Amino acid sequence: MAYELSPEQEALREEIRRMALEKVAPRASEIDRSGEYPWDMQRLLAEKGLLGLAIPEEYGGSGAPLLDNCIVAEELARVCATTSLIFVVQKLAAYPIVIAGSEEIKRKYLPAVASGEKLAAFCLTEPEAGSDAGATATTAVETDDGYVLNGKKCFITNGGLAEVHSVFAMTDPDKGIRGISTYLVEKSYPGFKVGKIEDKMGLRGAQVAEIIFEDCLVPKENMMGERGSGFITAMKTLDNSRPLVAAQALGIAQGAFDVAVDWARKRKQFGSPIGALQGIQFMLADMKTKVEAARQLVYRAATLCDKEDKDISIFSAMAKLYASDVAMSITTDAVQILGGYGYMKDQPLERMMRDAKVTQIYEGTNQVQRVVIARRLLGKL
């Protein structure tokens, strides 16, 4: 089944594409060079109402379907993956609040997240619990005053900048993954500390940091969902965010392909544009095929998520796996087509290539995605 966008979604794509070309693309190179968080891009997304696109209307958002969110992520990443990540992470961090937060929690925090007044962060990964969430070592001990958190999270996007955090901690260690609970933690809580700010290969403008909890007291009412339901909340969140990361990877791939096609038309060697060479033609044909195949898979995964279909997990994993592998392949080939120029920072491709790599890693490595897919196919053996 081919996934065609509605007229409204096509209009959304055109609007975001125009904004991305006019406002975002001119900043992309400098954002990467400086490695500083682009607050101007965050404000742009906030002013356009995009940071609340996925948040229900009753809490200050637009309540748009995941497919609409994927369109936005794709078009932003087509020119600047860092700006796309600002959009993606706000949705990722808000989702546990949407699906597990109490009505009080939702009304207290979601409007500020939707408006962009407050940045949000998703805190699952730890030094010894990356792909294995069951190894979560951050603890949450219940006391008369609330829950006391101790531990460390790592590779947290928006770490040190976010004021609202969806945090997963072990409440009952003897129960394994069934002992993990979810908490809403504010940056202002005593015992909340920011550790190392990471120096990254790509997505240079995104701030990624350690988050440290040292006897951090969290009010009891800030537990989101039932005690021990944190692993389920995390997996539901990832099922609904992986298509968004896939869309980001798709956007990177499309942007790199655009550059390669333009270069093949204009660059002359042996007296003709290099696009006249069959070797280049075959590369471009394969690249185009991969991009379009990825787009169809991403859109299908997003549509299934919107329908709450039973196959959400497998299609989300396939979309993230394939689109991110395509992004790495396309950016690599695009650099090759530009030759020495592609290797230089005067062109955007080396940045796109670096940005593409992390899409194969975060939101679950592609090796983990293959495990998810195989388990859905085979069941418990």
Tell me: the pLDDT tens digits for 6-31?
Answer: 999 999 999 999 999 999 999 999 99
Catalytic residues: 363
- Token pair for residue 326? 């395509």
Of 86, 87, 79, 21, residue with least CA distance to 53: 87
- Cα–Cα distance for residue pair 67/243, rounded to 1 Å: 9
Residue bearing tokens 């080396």 = 350
- Token pair for residue 94? 């808000």
> Which amino acid does the sequence have at 349?
L
How many CB atoms sit inside 10 A of residue 281's CB? 13
Please report the pLDDT score of residue 2 as a whole number. 55
Which helix (H) or strand (E) is 141 found in, with range?
strand 139-142
Please report the pLDDT score of residue 133 as a whole number. 80
Handedness of CA 160, 162, 163, 164 (dihedral sign): negative
Domains, the chain, with CATH or none = 7-115 (1.10.540.10), 120-228 (2.40.110.10), 231-378 (1.20.140.10)
- Token pair for residue 230? 């944190």
Q: What is the pTM of this model?
A: 0.96
How many CB atoms sit inside 10 A of residue 53's CB? 24
Percent of the chain past pLDDT 70, that is, above it, reads 99
Phi and psi, residue 344, nearest 5° = -95, 150
* pLDDT, one tens digit for every residue, the chain (381 residues): 557 789 999 999 999 999 999 999 999 999 999 999 999 999 999 999 999 999 999 999 999 999 999 999 999 999 999 999 999 999 999 999 999 999 999 999 999 999 999 999 999 999 998 888 888 999 999 999 999 999 999 999 999 999 999 999 999 999 999 999 999 999 999 999 999 999 999 999 999 999 999 999 999 999 999 999 999 999 999 999 999 999 999 999 999 999 999 999 999 999 999 999 999 999 999 999 999 999 999 999 999 999 999 999 999 999 999 999 999 999 999 999 999 999 999 999 999 999 999 999 999 999 999 999 999 999 877
> Which amino acid does the sequence have at 82?
T
The gap between the terminal CA atoms of the chain, to the nearest Å, is: 31
Q: Is residue 220 classed as helix, strand or coil in its secondary structure?
A: helix
